[in-house]
Amino acid sequence: MLRLENIAKSFYARHEVFDAVSDVSIDVYENEFLTILGPGQCGKSVLLNIIAGLEKPTKGTVDFPASSDTTMGFVFQKTAVFPWKTVMENVELGLQIKGANKKERREKAQYLIELVGLKGFENAYPYQLSGGMKQRVGIARAYCVNPDILLMDEPFGALDAQTRYQMEEEVLRIWQAEKRTVIFVTNNIEEALFLGDRIVLLSACPAKVKEIYIPRLERPRNNIDPDFLALREEIEANTDLAL
Ligand SMILES: Nc1ncnc2c1ncn2[C@@H]1O[C@H](COP(=O)(O)OP(=O)(O)OP(=O)(O)O)[C@@H](O)[C@H]1O
């Protein structure tokens, strides 16, 4: 679905060259849930922005072997929901920009609002929603344009632990209902292990691929299962300290 080949990214700041990403090659397969795990400030967001086309790599290529018009949706850590728009208007925005007629976009948005558990909140404004509910709006909005690949950049990083667990279960439920290729960035080992078909472990900055793990764990995964804990420990031992 997506092939990253020898991606590197350097910034020129304060008269110095700063390497954020170095020689990253990853193949991403159709409909897989790929988690990208790495310590804080290691270059995860830079890598995801390169995949999204928001940043240009200094070296390397991003290819879409399956189709040249592969589309992407993005869910950010702090979802940029428009405060003056209702939940419905926020979710249907992408389709509106694409020129879909009102009936078509309302139907699609309504389906997704229900899928993410926000039925009854269609006409609510963001200030009336909790942090977890706003992230649900962000997820519904990203799905609404039918992207081939969904990019999520620490979408639950700002949520409390309880809401975060709940949202991790929700995002898997949605992924199972609406199969899509998902690339999910996190600095949380447990989250990466709970969600990922594969886990790409990055090194500290500049980000390089340290290891790719394929958890042989059935879903729904249980974070107190001995196999889960053993793999968690193995990944933890191999993880660089955050800068
Ligand atoms: N436009 C830029 N100019 C200069 N340096 C940058 C730029 N964008 C990112 N960086 C640097 O690249 C490094 C990696 O940043 P990035 O945001 O990708 O880290 P991250 O792994 O996503 O961090 P976190 O887990 O804290 O979100 C940081 O040191 C950051 O300051």
Residue 156 domain flag: yes
ipTM score assigned to the predicted complex: 0.96
Question: Which domain range does residue 133 map to?
Answer: 83-145
pLDDT of residue 13: 85
Residue 75 domain flag: no
Task: Annotate 123-137 with b (16+ C-beta within 10 A) or e (fewer).
Answer: eebbeebebbbbbbb
Distance 56 CA to ligand 1 centre (A): 14
Percentage with pLDDT > 90 across the chain: 84
pLDDT of residue 180: 93
Percentage with pLDDT > 70 across the chain: 99
Residue 64 domain flag: yes
The strand pair at 198-202 and 181-186 is best described as unpaired
Q: Which atom of ligand 1 is nearest to 49's Cα? A: 18
Average pLDDT over residues 114-124: 95
Does residue 33 sit in the same domain as residue 135? no
pLDDT of residue 76: 85
Judged against a pLDDT cut of 80, whether residue 92 lies above it is answered with: yes
Does residue 127 sit in the same domain as residue 97? yes
Q: Of the ranges 45-49, 79-83, 202-206, which one carries the lowest mean pLDDT score?
A: 79-83
Task: Annotate 23-52 with b (16+ C-beta within 10 A) or e (fewer).
Answer: ebebebeeebbbbbbbbeebbbbbbbbbbb
Does residue 95 sit in the same domain as residue 184? no
Give the residues surrounding ligand 1 with Cβ less than 6 Å away: 11, 13, 18, 20, 38, 40-46, 154, 187, 205
Work out the pLDDT band at 78, boundaries 50, 70, 90.
confident
